[in-house]
Structure 1
Amino acid sequence: MTGLDPFAPAWQVAEAVATGTITAEEVVRSALDRVATVNPVVNAFTDVTAERALAQARAIDADRVAGKPLPMLAGVPVAVKNLFDIQGLPTRAGSKINRDLAPATRDGVLIERLTAAGAVLIGGLNMGEYAYDFTGENAHDGACRNPHDTTRMAGGSSSGSGAAAGAGLAALTLGSDTNGSIRVPASFCGVFGLKPTYGRLTRAGSFPFCDSLDHLGPFGRSVRDLALAYDAMQGPADGDLACAGRPVEPVLRSLDAGIAGLRIATLGGYFDTEGMPEAHAAVRAAAGALGATRTVEVAGVAEGRAAAFVITNVESAALHLKNLRSRRDDFDPDTRDRFLAGAMLPGPWYARAQQVRAWYRAQFAEVFAEVDVLIAPATPFPAPEIGCRTVTIRGREMLTRPNIGMFTQPISAIGLPVCAVPVRRDGLPIGVQVIAAPWREDLCLRVAAWLEKEGVAGFTAPTL
Structure 2
Amino acid sequence: MTSTKAWWQQDATRMAHAVAAREVTATQLVRACLDRIAATDRRVNAFTDLVSARALERAARIDSGLADGSQAVLPLLGVPFAVKNLFDIAGLRTLAGSKIERDSPPATQDGLLVQRMEAAGAILIGALNMDEYAYGFTTENSHEGACHNPHNLDLTAGGSSGGSAAAVAAGQVPLTLGSDTNGSIRVPSSLCGIFGLKPTFGRLPRTGSFPFVTSLDHLGPFARSVRDLALAYDAMQGDEEKGLHRDAGCAQRATEFVVDELDLGIQGLRIGVLGGYFHDNALSEARSAVAKVAKALGARDTVELPLVEAGRAAAFLITNSEGAALHLDNLRARASDFEPLSRDRFLAGALIPAAWVARAQRVRTRYARAAAQVFEKYDLLLAPATPCAATPIGAERMHLNGRDLPLRPNMGVLTQPISCIGLPVCAVPVWGAHPVLPIGVQVIAAPWREDLVLRAAAVLEAAGVCRAPVAKL
**Contact kept in structure 1, 2:8 and 2:29, CA below 8 Å:** no
CA displacement at 1:424 relative to structure 2: 2.6
Amino-acid identity (%):
60
Q: Which residue of 2 aligns with 1:78?
A: 81
Q: What is the rounded CA distance, in whole Å, between the counterparts of 1:336 and 1:290 in structure 2?
A: 43
Q: Which residue of 2 aligns with 1:452?
A: 461
* Whole-angstrom distance in 2 between the partners of 1:209 and 1:402: 16
Asked whether the 8 Å contact 2:203–2:252 carries over to 1, the reply is no
Take 1:424 and 1:152, find their aligned partners in 2: how far apart are those partners? 17
Residues 352-394 of structure 1: CA distance to partner in whole angstroms, max 9, x if unpaired? 0000000000111000000000010000000100000001001
Q: Counterparts of 1:23-422 in structure 2 under 5 Å?
A: 23-67=25-69, 68-237=71-240, 238=242, 239-272=246-279, 276-422=283-429
- Structure 1: how far apart are the matches of 2:216 and 2:88? 19
1:18 maps to which of 14, 17, 20: 20
Q: Secondary structure at the match of 2:365?
A: helix
CA distance in 2, matches of 1:430, 1:316: 29
User: Does the CA contact (< 8 Å) of 1:311 and 1:354 recur in 2?
Assistant: yes
Letter aligned with residue 447 of structure 1: A
Which amino acid is the alignment partner of residue 374 of structure 1?
L
Distance 2:280 2:151 in 1: 23
Q: How many Å apart are 1:69 and its aligned residue?
A: 2.7
SS of corresponding position for 1:242: coil
> Separation in 2 of the partners of 1:310 and 1:383?
27
Q: Distance in 2 between matches of 1:14 and 1:429?
A: 28
Give the AA of the match of 1:132.
Y
CA-CA distance at 1:423 after TM superposition: 1.0
Q: For the residues of structure 1 that align with 2:247 and 2:82, how far apart are their CA atoms?
A: 22
- 2:22 corresponds to which letter in structure 1? G
TM-fit CA distance, 1:244: 4.2
2:281–2:414 CA contact under 8 A, matched in 1: no
Q: Is the 2:282–2:387 Cα contact (8 Å) retained in structure 1? A: no
Change (3 A) 1:180 1:266: same
Deviation for aligned residue 1:273 = 5.2
Which amino acid in structure 2 is aligned with residue 92 of structure 1? Answer: L
What is the CA distance between 1:225 and its match in structure 2?
0.5
SS at match of 2:196: strand
> Secondary structure in 1 aligned to 2:399?
strand
State the Cα distance separating 1:333 from its structure 2 match: 0.4
Contact 1:268 1:296 in 2 (8 A): yes
Q: Using a 3 Å threshold, how does the CA distance of structure 1 residues 414 and 244 change in structure 2: closer, same or farther?
A: closer
Displacement after TM superposition at 1:83 (Å)? 0.2
Give the RMSD, CA atoms, in angstroms.
1.0
How far apart are the structure 2 equivalents of 1:310 and 1:13? Answer: 44
The CA distance in 1 between the partners of 2:251 and 2:424, in whole Å, is 18
Q: Could you say what secondary structure the match of 1:272 adopts?
A: helix
Q: Matched residues in 2 for 1:163 and 1:126: separation?
A: 9
Deviations 1:182-208 (A, max 9, x none): 000000000000000000000000000
**Residues 242-278 of structure 1: CA deviation (Å, up to 9, x unaligned):** 2142111100011000110100110111111576121
Note the C-alpha offset of 1:298: 1.1
User: Alpha-carbon deviation of 1:2?
Assistant: 5.5
Aligned equivalents of 1:80, 1:326: Cα separation in 2:
29
Secondary structure of 1:457's aligned partner = coil
Structure 1: how far apart are the matches of 2:57 and 2:281?
53
Verify the 8 A CA contact 1:60 1:70 in the aligned structure 2.
no
Secondary structure of the structure 1 residue equivalent to 2:177: strand
Give the secondary-structure state (helix, strand or coil) at the position aligned to 1:30. helix
Q: CA deviation at 1:7?
A: 2.6
Calculate the TM-score normalised by the size of structure 2. 0.97
The Cα offsets for residues 300-322 of structure 1, whole Å up to 9 and x where unpaired, read as 11100000000000100000000
Q: Secondary structure at the match of 2:176?
A: strand
Give the Cα–Cα distance (whole angstroms) in 2 for the partners of residues 245 and 272 of structure 1: 36
Structure 1 stretches of 5 or more lacking a match? Answer: none
Dislocated runs of 4+, deviation >4 Å: none
Q: Does the 8 Å contact 1:63/1:70 carry over to 2?
A: no
Taking the aligned partners of 1:210 and 1:338, their CA distance within structure 2 comes to 13
2:445 equivalent in structure 1:
436
Q: Output the CA distance in 1 between the equivalents of 2:122 and 2:306.
A: 42
Higher mean alpha-carbon deviation, 106-115 vs 241-250, is at 241-250
Opposite residue 61 of structure 1, the aligned amino acid is: D
Q: Report if the CA contact (8 A) 1:97-1:331 is conserved.
A: yes
Q: How many angstroms does 1:56 deviate by?
A: 0.5
Deviation at 1:58, TM superposition (A): 0.6
Change (3 A) 1:274 1:308: closer
**In terms of mean alpha carbon deviation, does 15-24 or 172-181 score higher?**
15-24
The answer as to whether partners of 1:93 and 1:130 remain within 8 angstroms in 2 is yes
- The corresponding residue for 1:461 is 470
- For each residue in 1:22-79, what CA deviation from the matched residue of structure 2 results, as whole angstroms up to 9, or x when unmatched? 1100000111111111111100000000000000001111111112432110111100
